[in-house]
Amino acid sequence: MKYVSFATSIHDLGILKEENHDEVILGHRDFSRFGKLDDLQFIELAAQAKKLGMRVVFEWDILMIENVFAHLITCIEKFQGHFDVLRVQDPGALEWSLKNTQVPVQFIAENANRNLEALNGWCEYIGDRLDRLVLSIELSRNTLAEFVSTLKVPCELLGFGRILLFYTPRNLLSGLNGGEKFRFNDEISALGESEESPHKGFPIVENKHGTFMFHIKEFCLLEFRQELANLGLSHFRIDLRWEGLNFIKDLDNLKEIYPQDLMRGFFLVNKTDVLFPKLKNSRLQKREGNYLGEVIEAEKSKHLAILVKHTEGIRPGQNIKILHPKGEEFEVKIHWLKDSSLTEVEHIGQNQLALIPYVGGVWVKSQLFIQ
């Protein structure tokens, strides 16, 4: 397993070389979410990296509306030949890269792509131009193990760095920035907290590409490096763009010396769907098969009013089960049936209003089933 990281200066490249990195990600400020380099800086840094024997990865990870995209593809030409690999997330950037360049492509599959079918789909589509898939940090170790062992391409995972929670193209901070003028290539940052969340101090950054919010803790899988290597992960990404690349020199002690709190995220287990069944009353969802209808009025000592849903309607003499929203069940026989004009009838059809005798304890929204 190799390490891969970002550089924004010659100094950074020197550090990466010392740490035996053979690849570096460079972020141009027009193409990369947090890129700092202008044209000249990019070209100079890329040249220097190549001199040091490193592969240069051109990071093009912003998402682009058509107007921005159309502009950027007129700009990228000047960098052709200065990088070895393109790294993209926007499917438009991927499509354009495949048709208009010859270089290998690293595809950032960190959003969506939680299943092998999707990842295999990208592998097939990109074909032998695919240099690497960048996987999501929301995948648990078991899922990662399955994916990495099944996929036939090199896979990368963020191993250390900020966790991006939110990305919008809108400028959310500059309007609040004490009236200070926001210059186009500047960056505004803030720390946010909400009384409605126990977490305090979300780093927020606004730049020319929009506004980004990060988790209060940074992601760290340093203690799992051997396990990840054994799984077959090809690249372990270290993102120190905010705290400085010097920390990369001491990975074994980084957890102890790093100034930010750290977390493993969902690496051990991802249970972010376990609460879903509690978001609604499952007893109200059983409207299949012998479902007869729903109580829409319960008038004590008088009647239950039902909106009939069964295709065959309702008849007196039928035995029914009533399921209360709280789970209690009642089994009753329909002794009489009336329509809305209070006339006793022998049948009421689907989507009609029907009255049956009141059943003590039954509420509105109770569900009826034919027995």
The count of other CB atoms within 10 Å of the CB of residue 37 is 22
Give the x-and-dash track for 56-85 against another protein (CB under 8 A).
Answer: -------xxxxx-xx---------------
Please provide the distance, in angstroms rounded to a whole number, between the alpha carbons at the two ends of the chain: 62
Structure tokens at 108: 């950032």
With respect to another protein, which residue has the nearer C-beta, 230 or 285?
A: 285
**Mask for 276-295, x = binds another protein (CB under 8 A):** x--xx---xx-xxx-x----
Question: Which of 14/192 has CB closer to another protein?
Answer: 192
Please report, as residue ranges, which positions from 9 to 48 form the binding site for another protein (by CB under 8 A): none
Using CB atoms within 10 Å of the CB of residue 311, give its burial: 0 to 12 exposed, 13 to 18 middle, 19+ buried: exposed
* Number of Cβ atoms within 10 Å of the Cβ of 55: 17
Per-residue mark of binding to another protein, 313-352 (x: CB under 8 A): --------------------------xxxx--------xx
Site for another protein in 217-236 (CB under 8 A): none
- Structure tokens given for 176: 């609040």
Site string for another protein, 169-198 (x = CB under 8 A): xxxxxxxxxx---------xxxxxxxxxx-
Task: Determine how many CB atoms are found less than 10 A away from the CB of residue 136.
Answer: 20
Q: Give the shortest CB-24-to-another protein separation in angstroms.
A: 26
Smallest separation, CB 52 to another protein (Å): 33
Query: Which C-beta is closer to another protein: that of 248 or that of 292?
Result: 292
Cα(209)–Cα(33) distance, rounded to whole angstroms? 6
* Structure-token match 């700092």, residue found: 36
Q: Is 361 in the site for another protein (CB under 8 A)?
A: no
Among 204, 238, 322, 348, binds another protein (CB under 8 A): 204
> Are the beta carbons of 149 and 179 closer than 8 angstroms?
no
Cα–Cα distance between 234 and 55 in angstroms, integer? Answer: 15
Tokens of 245: 């690349």
- Of the candidate residues 53, 74, 112, 184, the single one contacting another protein (CB under 8 A): 112
Q: Which is nearer to another protein, 20 or 272 (CB)?
A: 272
